[in-house]
């Protein structure tokens, strides 16, 4: 007895001090959902521990009997407070009306009457002095006490069932935390039941209550699960195609669906160990980072566009409020609008082409038409036939312009179907369809790619024609020039290649390299200025990117990137001889 008593006193004293510290910490969070009910629960545990500490310290059996009777009032209050906490945690605040509080108060009041006054000795049959007991008395349980215990255990089971329901229907951090709370709820009932049925002769429940209270406190302070879980669980649906992110009021990621994880992977964010981390840190290396603060400030939602590589996301945020109207976090929804944006860009390009066509018709066609009409007038006045040649030349120019305008209209449409195309073979075919004079074609390397063969043929013909017409200083003497045009293929990333068409001519000055793709730009006297514009439009229609640089010999070099390589090819072929 001498060894047992100090050990019990030390254990109960430690439980009292721990409970006091927890109350001091939880007081700062009392206004959060579940804060007040948890304060009452921890206070009841403090009361329980303090009563037992006094009970194992005093030696007067009469005082011990009074303390023992008063003990059960705190137990009843703690059970009621735990029920309120569970209702708030599991999103059942709507049940916490006056009727519920009145019903829950019946038990503590009844216990107070029967345990302290004990009319008819229904709560305790007898409480006799017992020097061998750690509390100096030996109580005999009555019928009312058995009813109290049965009711308390039923409340614990109900609370455990509510927490278990949360654990079963939740994911990630919720499931683990809710499972821990189920264990924390049932542990005091198990230790109390062990004392009731005589498995132990010392009440160890107050020793585990601080640990139980600590788990509940962590739920409020660290994870804020009672703030978000019951509210967000109805909003986060795995079936939706949009990415859904749930943030607490501190900006930490509390939940994310599979679509959201995929969105993060698109943005380059690792999808592991996401829960509990500040959302701003997760997206710190992406364009979304700069918008996080604006997304989560203010009382309303906002919508922004975030572009990452070739993906465009519409991000919408809405504040989350609990049943009391208090702000507890945000729901962020990301919607992939890449296809919509692509269609919008295509529509804008089509509108631009319409404007360009109108300009070409009104300006470029009018000029040679006016010259031809003027020349016709001179023929009538002078009768000189040389003006007929001028008229013919300008009619030919008008025909070329009309042909190129029709080509622009056709080739600007998006490519909806592609075929396997041998680039080298198609280049040779295009070369044969162009007046190349004494110039030479070399196939440095080739590959089988996915493309519209007819449109790609026009690209190659226009590039070859451009090289012949503009790759030598003097067009009239091009037959004497040793111009070489080279077609090659380079690696371009997973499943893609970059194909190149370059020459060893005079090249394109850096200041003119963007202008060459503009409608109507030409350095030749008879050029329509539409050839390279057609090249870019066909490239855009395939989803390729084309740019002009300088070849190793100083000539023009056109690079087409983002070209899909046929899946049957694993490696680029060796260089081919021309």
The rounded distance, in Å, linking the Cα atoms of 81 and 65 is: 26
Span 41-50, pLDDT tens digits: 888 888 888 8
Question: Is the CB of residue 484 less than 8 Å from the CB of residue 430?
Answer: no
pLDDT of amino acid 366: 61
Identify the residue with better confidence: 488 or 336: 488
- The answer to whether residue 149 scores a pLDDT higher than 90 is no
- The answer to whether residue 479 scores a pLDDT higher than 50 is no
- The answer to whether residue 157 scores a pLDDT higher than 70 is yes
pLDDT of amino acid 415: 66
The rounded distance, in Å, linking the Cα atoms of 405 and 251 is: 55
Biggest CA-to-CA distance, the chain: 145
Task: Please state whether beta strands 253-256 and 302-308 pair in parallel, antiparallel, or not at all (unpaired).
Answer: unpaired
Question: Is the CB of residue 296 less than 8 Å from the CB of residue 262?
Answer: no
Span 129-144, pLDDT tens digits: 777 777 777 778 788 8
Q: Is 326 left (phi over 0), alpha (psi -120 to 50) or beta?
A: beta
| 195-209, 227-241, 250-264, 391-405: range with lowest mean pLDDT | 227-241
Span 288-302, pLDDT tens digits: 776 676 666 654 445
HSE, CB side, 13 Å, CA atoms: give it for residue 511: 0
Span 57-77, pLDDT tens digits: 888 888 888 888 888 888 899
The rounded distance, in Å, linking the Cα atoms of 460 and 454 is: 10
Q: Assign 547 a pLDDT band (cuts: 50, 70, 90).
A: very high
CB atoms < 10 A from the CB of 462, how many? 22
Q: Give how far Cα 49 sits from Cα of 75, 80, 133, Å.
A: 11, 18, 17
pLDDT mean over 404-418: 64
CB atoms < 10 A from the CB of 154, how many? 12
Residue 242, classified by CB atoms within 10 Å of its CB into exposed (0-12), middle (13-18) or buried (19+), is: middle
Pinpoint the alpha helices (H) of 445-561: 453-470, 531-542
Closest-CA residue to 23 (of 81, 103, 106, 83): 81
How many H-runs (helices) and E-runs (strands) does the chain carry? Answer: 17, 14
- The answer to whether residue 574 scores a pLDDT higher than 60 is no
pLDDT of amino acid 577: 33
Closest-CA residue to 279 (of 231, 342, 334): 334
DSSP secondary-structure letter at 529? S
* pLDDT, averaged across the chain: 76
- The answer to whether residue 194 scores a pLDDT higher than 50 is yes
Identify the residue with better confidence: 485 or 86: 485
Q: What tokens appear for 86 in the block?
A: 């569970």
The rounded distance, in Å, linking the Cα atoms of 13 and 23 is: 15
Q: Assign 21 a pLDDT band (cuts: 50, 70, 90).
A: confident
The rounded distance, in Å, linking the Cα atoms of 391 and 62 is: 130
pLDDT of amino acid 575: 41
Question: Is the CB of residue 321 less than 8 Å from the CB of residue 228?
Answer: no
Q: Assign 203 a pLDDT band (cuts: 50, 70, 90).
A: confident
- The answer to whether residue 281 scores a pLDDT higher than 90 is no
The rounded distance, in Å, linking the Cα atoms of 346 and 338 is: 12
- The answer to whether residue 528 scores a pLDDT higher than 70 is no
Q: Assign 148 a pLDDT band (cuts: 50, 70, 90).
A: confident
Q: What tokens appear for 410 in the block?
A: 């056709």
Q: What tokens appear for 342 in the block?
A: 């692509």
Is the pTM above the cut of 0.75? Answer: no
pLDDT of amino acid 499: 94
Span 453-478, pLDDT tens digits: 888 988 898 899 888 887 776 554 44
pLDDT of amino acid 502: 95
- The answer to whether residue 555 scores a pLDDT higher than 80 is yes
Report the C-alpha dihedral over residues 368, 370, 376, 378, rounded to 10 degrees.
Answer: -110
Q: Is 479 left (phi over 0), alpha (psi -120 to 50) or beta?
A: alpha
Task: Please state whether beta strands 327-336 and 137-141 pair in parallel, antiparallel, or not at all (unpaired).
Answer: unpaired
Question: Is the CB of residue 156 less than 8 Å from the CB of residue 183?
Answer: no
Span 209-250, pLDDT tens digits: 777 767 666 655 554 444 444 434 444 455 567 888 888 877
> DSSP labels for 114-159?
IIII-GGG-SEEEEEE-TTSTTSEEEEE-HHHHHHHHHHHHHHHHH
Identify the residue with better confidence: 133 or 489: 489
The rounded distance, in Å, linking the Cα atoms of 318 and 329 is: 9
CB atoms < 10 A from the CB of 288, how many? 25
- The answer to whether residue 497 scores a pLDDT higher than 60 is yes
pLDDT of amino acid 451: 92
Please report the domains of the chain, with CATH numbers, ordered by start residue: 4-228 (1.20.1070.10), 235-336 (3.30.450.20), 339-411 (1.10.287), 416-578 (3.30.565.10)
Span 99-132, pLDDT tens digits: 999 999 999 999 888 888 888 788 887 788 777 7
Q: What is the chain's length?
A: 578
């Amino acid at each position: 007895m001498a060894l047992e008593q100090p050990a019990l006193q030390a254990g109960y004293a430690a439980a009292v001090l721990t409970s006091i510290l927890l109350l001091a910490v939880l007081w700062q969070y009392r206004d959060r959902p579940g804060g007040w009910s948890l304060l009452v629960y921890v206070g009841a545990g403090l009361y329980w521990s303090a009563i037992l500490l006094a009970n194992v310290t005093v030696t007067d059996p009469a005082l011990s009997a009074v303390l023992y009777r008063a003990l059960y009032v705190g137990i009843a209050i703690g059970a009621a407070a735990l029920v309120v906490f569970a209702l708030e945690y599991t999103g059942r605040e709507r049940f916490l009306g006056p009727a519920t509080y009145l019903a829950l108060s019946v038990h503590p009041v009844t216990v107070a009457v029967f345990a302290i006054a004990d009319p008819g000795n229904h709560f305790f049959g007898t409480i006799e002095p017992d020097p061998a007991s750690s509390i100096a008395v030996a109580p005999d349980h009555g019928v009312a006490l058995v009813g109290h215990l049965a009711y308390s255990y039923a409340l614990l089971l109900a609370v455990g069932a509510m927490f278990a329901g949360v654990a079963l229907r939740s994911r990630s951090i919720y499931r683990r935390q809710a499972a821990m709370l189920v264990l924390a709820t049932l542990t005091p009932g198990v230790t109390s039941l062990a004392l009731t049925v005589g498995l132990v002769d010392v009440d160890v429940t107050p020793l585990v209550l601080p640990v139980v209270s600590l788990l509940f406190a962590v739920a409020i302070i660290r994870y804020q699960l009672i703030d978000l879980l019951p509210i967000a669980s109805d909003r986060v649906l795995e079936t939706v195609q949009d990415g859904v992110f749930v943030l607490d009021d501190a900006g930490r990621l509390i939940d994310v669906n599979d679509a959201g994880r995929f969105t993060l992977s698109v943005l380059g964010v690792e999808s592991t160990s996401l829960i509990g981390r500040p959302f701003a840190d997760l997206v710190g290396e992406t364009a979304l980072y700069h918008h996080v603060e604006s997304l989560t400030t203010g009382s309303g939602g906002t919508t922004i566009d975030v572009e990452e590589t070739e993906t465009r996301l519409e991000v919408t945020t809405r504040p989350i409020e609990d049943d009391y109207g208090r702000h507890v976090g945000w729901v962020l929804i990301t919607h992939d609008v890449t296809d919509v944006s692509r269609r919008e860009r295509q529509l804008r390009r089509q509108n631009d082409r319409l404007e360009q066509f109108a300009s070409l018709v009104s300006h470029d066609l009018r000029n040679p038409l006016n010259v031809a009409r003027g020349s016709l007038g001179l023929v009538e006045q002078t009768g000189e036939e040389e003006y007929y040649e001028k008229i013919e030349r300008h009619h030919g120019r008008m025909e070329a312009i009309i042909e190129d305008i029709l080509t622009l209209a056709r080739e600007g449409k998006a490519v909806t179907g592609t075929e396997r195309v041998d680039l080298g073979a198609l280049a040779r075919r295009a070369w044969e369809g162009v007046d190349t004079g004494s110039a030479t074609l070399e196939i440095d390397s080739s590959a089988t790619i996915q493309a519209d063969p007819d449109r790609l043929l026009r690209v190659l013909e226009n590039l070859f024609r451009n090289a012949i017409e503009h790759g030598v200083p003097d067009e009239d003497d091009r037959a004497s020039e040793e111009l070489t045009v080279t077609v090659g293929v380079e690696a371009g990333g997973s499943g893609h290649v970059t194909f190149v068409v370059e020459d060893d001519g005079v090249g394109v000055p850096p200041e003119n390299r963007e202008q060459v793709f503009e409608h109507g730009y030409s350095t030749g006297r008879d050029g329509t200025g539409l050839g390279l514009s057609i090249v870019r439009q066909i490239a855009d229609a395939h989803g390729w990117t084309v740019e002009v640089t300088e070849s190793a010999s100083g000539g023009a070099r056109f690079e087409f990137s983002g070209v899909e390589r046929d899946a049957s090819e694993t490696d680029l072929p060796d260089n081919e001889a021309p």
